[in-house]
Copies of this chain bind each other. A is one copy, B any other.
Amino acid sequence: MKKNVTIPELAKLTGVSIGTVDRALNNRSEINPETKKKILAAAAKYNYRPNRLSKALVHNRTIRIGMITLPAKSPFIKKLTAAAVAAADEKIDFGLSLSVHPLSTFDAQEEASKIKTLVDSGIDALAIAGVDSPVTKKAIAYAIKKNAKVVTFNSDVSDTERLCVVGQNLHQSGQVAGDLLCKYMGEQGEVFVLHGSKQISAHRERLKGFCSVVDSDFPDIKIVAIEEDLDDDKIAYEKTKQILASRPNISGIYVVAAGNKGAGKALKESGRSSSVKMVCNDFVPMTEEFLEEGIIDATILQDPETQGRLPIDILFNLLFDKIQPEKDYYPTTIDIITKYNYHGHKGCQ
């Protein structure tokens, strides 16, 4: 692979000045069609490609991206944010500047006002983990009207003109869990589902996927109870304890959202962990210990790396190189994690 031709070289080769070569290459202003032709011919012949470094160097304009994440307490969001920052750092020399704004609660109003502030400050693009609500929708519409490029990640906001969404297919995630748990159970028995919240669409999606697989693939498995823990480990503990006590034939537990710790504790204390299989989501405190002890059989993870990095890459490519995203939906992986493969997985600290 030899060095690329440069503009000065093309100028010498065609006997004109670098200014003229520049005009020909970027079809600027008036230029003699014949000289232009000659120059373009030479450029083609020597396979001229512009040097992005020099371009960026002379550009010297900062590209501003704002990222709005869900509340930053969970390890998952922390890892996602770190990945986004790392992606931005790699492009810092190209003038990329990223600011991250975690919500303090799951509040659509707060999200909308954050969006508005960023847009009014003249931000070039936004990566948004959306709270799916009319207020957010309106804020996104405003951003787009003001010419900001918008990508959603982790959770989409429906009916908006965002360029694309990066995230896990939650219905599929529920399917994966259903398939796994039912097979662990020997394809028969009673299941207890510890739901997160009926209000949260992500949880509903997972549950639907889970149920659809149980229905279609495992006729001998029955879901005998579905309880909500509202992302609270105490509630998760109490409900699981109660169900295990009242239903001696339970042989599978699916935890839709948080609650790993509470449900795991109850299962452990019941002394039935070898006969009751448990599949959950996410990697939170105690998940590792329960995997090691055999309380939790598997946990389904999202990929924080990709969910943080890809939105930044997509927006940068668009703003810097004018490369449009090629897809409307960028699915991220659904990772099955067991006792033996959590080491080295990006989602497990």
Contacts and interface: CB of A to CB of B under 8 A. Distances in A.
Interface of A: 1-4, 49, 51-54, 56-57, 62, 92-94, 97-99, 169, 172-173, 175-176, 179-180, 183-184, 186, 213, 277, 297, 331-336, 338-341, 343-346
B333 A344 contact: yes
B52 A1 contact: no
- Choose among A183, A277, A331 the residue with the greatest number of B CB atoms under 10 Å from its CB: A183
Contacts of A343: 169, 172, 331
A172 B62 contact: no
A340 to B, nearest CB: 4
A53 B173 CA distance: 42
Nearest to A169: B344
Nearest to A94: B53
A312 B213 CA distance: 41
B336 A338 contact: yes
B92 A4 contact: yes
Contact of A341 (B62, B336, B344): B336
Contacts of A92: 4, 49
Given A57-B54, A62-B3, A97-B1, A336 B336 contact: yes
A131 to B, nearest CB: 24
Contacts of A173: 341
Given A169-B344, A180-B338, A334-B341, A98 B1 contact: yes
Contacts of A51: 57, 93
Contacts of A183: 183-184, 277, 297
Contact of A346 (B172, B333, B336): B333
A39 to B, nearest CB: 22
A54 B62 CA distance: 16
Contact of A332 (B49, B57, B175, B344): B344
Nearest to A186: B186
26 contacts: A1-B62, A1-B97, A1-B98, A1-B99, A2-B97, A49-B92, A53-B53, A53-B57, A57-B57, A169-B343, A169-B344, A172-B343, A173-B341, A175-B340, A176-B340, A179-B338, A179-B339, A180-B338, A183-B183, A183-B297, A184-B184, A331-B344, A333-B335, A334-B344, A335-B335, A336-B341
A177 to B, nearest CB: 9
The 6 closest A-B pairs by CB, nearest first: A331-B344, A336-B336, A1-B97, A334-B341, A186-B186, A175-B340
Contacts of A346: 333
A98 B338 CA distance: 37
Nearest to A60: B3
- Choose among A1, A52, A176 the residue with the greatest number of B CB atoms under 10 Å from its CB: A1
Contacts of A340: 172, 175-176, 179, 213, 334
B176 A338 contact: yes
Contacts of A99: 1
